[in-house]
Amino acid sequence: MSEQDVDLSAEKYEKHREAGEILAQVRAEAAEKVDVGVTHLEVAEFAEDRIRELGGKPAFPVNISIDEEAAHATPGIDDETTFGEDMVNLDIGVHVDGWLADTAITVDLSGHDELAEASAEALDAALELVEPGVETGEIGAEIESVIEGYGYNPVVNLSGHGLAHYEQHTEPNIPNLGVERGVELQVGDVVAIEPFATDGTGKVGEGAEEEIFALERESSVRDRSARQALSQITEEFRTLPFATRWLDVSRPKMALRRLKMNNIVHGYPVLKEEDGCLVSQKEHSVIVTEDGCEVFTE
């Protein structure tokens, strides 16, 4: 597609922008609520409810990742876990009619300001590079350089990503390190760039916990509770991730277990830094324009 063929005022881009405007407000309000003694569930439900109040819908459950956790952590039903002197990453998504915005911020209660600053500065540097024709590998190299300049490592097996209609993660991937084979960004691309910095070696692995799921395929299931859950999933969440605590059925964990056994849903295990070290994160969503990019989650 040539640059002149892209109408950046088209309805889908306006809905991305609307989602981003809601998200910027909710991110700021939710970050203010993170404090020692406050429960994770209080912050997650506040943010998700606020998104709905402002006219959007959560694109995925609010991720609240603590210390070595990097992604896919969200409170369970009646979770009473509270914040301590933690490094807290809030990753929040909004959609308007399926058009997404995605953002993340580190709220540091642990006293490791420079680690939080490293991912934030890496994001700023990456955004400066975004324009038509730039290769994603160049963006990754800049992220890597900034984070290493702080004396830390990027998390190399996590990346930024494209945002599509009812698709939270799509092409192109935006790596957090330099790679030789990248994809050239084009006018009209909608991408989320999210550097992760760590004082560990820079890889994450899967933990045992799962509270976030997504539809894998539609199929029949005999169990009544599982059928009810599947009906809600297909109608309300479609292909987007959802939390166990969002399901309006009795014994939701059992319903999900049955759906997972039948390969109807898949889970997202919490991702943790393999050395048990701290992880910080900063993320914005952008539209690639003719002369750079429009950050629509600021």
d(CA 121, CA 52) in angstroms, rounded, equals 31
- 67, 68, 91, 273: the catalytic one is 91
Residue 91 annotated as lining a ligand binding site: yes
Respond yes or no: is residue 102 known to be catalytic. yes
Total tally of structural domains belonging to the chain: 2
Beta partners for 210?
269
Respond yes or no: is residue 165 known to be catalytic. no
* pLDDT 10s digits, 74-99: 999 999 999 999 999 999 999 999 99
pLDDT value for 180: 86
Backbone dihedral angles phi then psi of residue 164, each to the nearest 5 degrees: -130, -175
> Are 218 and 108 in a shared domain?
no
> Are 173 and 265 in a shared domain?
no
Q: Which residue has the tokens 């030789």?
A: 180
Q: Which of 30, 36, 34, 39 is nearest to 85 (CA)?
A: 36
User: Exposure pattern of 58-90 as b/e (b: 16+ CB <10 Å)?
Assistant: bbbbbbbbbbbbbbbbbbbeebeeebeebbbbb
Q: How many CB atoms lie within 10 A of CB 168?
A: 19
Confidence of residue 1 (pLDDT cuts 50, 70, 90): very low
Distances (CA, A) of 273 to 155, 163, 205: 8, 25, 6
The one-letter code for the residue type at 102 is D
- 67, 102, 121, 142: the catalytic one is 102
Residue 237 sits in a domain of what CATH number? Answer: 1.10.10.10
Residue 189 sits in a domain of what CATH number? Answer: 3.90.230.10
Q: How many CB atoms lie within 10 A of CB 181?
A: 7
Mean pLDDT (the chain) is 96
> Are 47 and 118 in a shared domain?
yes
Respond yes or no: is residue 283 known to be catalytic. yes
> Are 252 and 153 in a shared domain?
no
> Are 100 and 198 in a shared domain?
yes
- 148, 169, 209, 216: the catalytic one is 169
* pLDDT 10s digits, 189-207: 999 999 999 999 999 999 9
Task: Name the CA radius of gyration of the chain, rounded.
Answer: 19
> Are 105 and 119 in a shared domain?
yes
Respond yes or no: is residue 199 known to be catalytic. no
Residue 283 annotated as lining a ligand binding site: yes
Q: Cα angle vertex 62, ends 207, 243, to 5°?
A: 70
Structural domain boundaries enclosing 181:
3-206+275-295
> Are 120 and 19 in a shared domain?
yes
Tell whether the model's pLDDT for residue 4 goes beyond 60.
Answer: no
Residue 169 annotated as lining a ligand binding site: yes
> Are 191 and 215 in a shared domain?
no
pLDDT value for 181: 80
Respond yes or no: is residue 161 known to be catalytic. yes
Average pLDDT over residues 220-244: 96
- Residues 6 or more apart whose CB falls under 8 angstroms from that of 169 comprise 161, 162
- 67, 138, 194, 273: the catalytic one is 194
* pLDDT 10s digits, 23-41: 999 999 999 999 999 999 9
> Are 169 and 217 in a shared domain?
no
Respond yes or no: is residue 266 known to be catalytic. no
> Are 83 and 213 in a shared domain?
no
> Are 101 and 78 in a shared domain?
yes
> Are 54 and 160 in a shared domain?
yes
